[in-house]
Homo-oligomer: A and B are copies of this chain.
Amino acid sequence: MMISRAVTLTRERIVAYAGHFDPQPQHLDEAAAVSTGFGELVASGWQTVSLSLRLAEEVCPALAGGRYRIDSVKWQRPVRPGDTLLVEVEVLQAAPFRFQIATRHAEGETVQTMIGTTQT
């Protein structure tokens, strides 16, 4: 399990994101949000997605560079201004991969090289 740093979604960030990418009343303004299904100002789900992927890429080397697809997204709870979020990345199903372990002098010279394969 890889755990990211925590980030606080301020009202400013929520409204700015919505203004650019998801301009709906529940993401833009407290007064307008009252008459929506949420009844209050909440973050766009897409803002939570993009923040979560950024945090996940920071802690999971295999995701860095964006070589993955997302198969499903589920929103369980609204995110409100001031909420502090972090992500936990978990490998659900690993496949074997080959790796190399090079042992070097701190000055850089290679003293040993091993090739291996993970088992799942």
Q: A: which residues have CB within 8 A of B?
A: 2, 6, 45, 48-49, 51-53, 56, 60-63, 67-79, 83-106, 109-120
Contact = CB atoms under 8 A, between A and B. Distances in A.
B97 A48 contact: no
A80 to B, nearest CB: 10
B69 A116 contact: yes
28 contacts: A2-B61, A48-B103, A52-B101, A62-B94, A62-B97, A62-B99, A62-B118, A67-B120, A69-B116, A70-B114, A70-B116, A73-B113, A73-B114, A75-B112, A76-B112, A77-B105, A79-B112, A87-B102, A88-B104, A89-B100, A90-B100, A90-B102, A91-B98, A92-B99, A93-B98, A95-B95, A95-B96, A95-B97
Contacts of A103: 48, 51-52, 85-87
A90 B51 CA distance: 28
A88 B117 CA distance: 16
A14 to B, nearest CB: 13
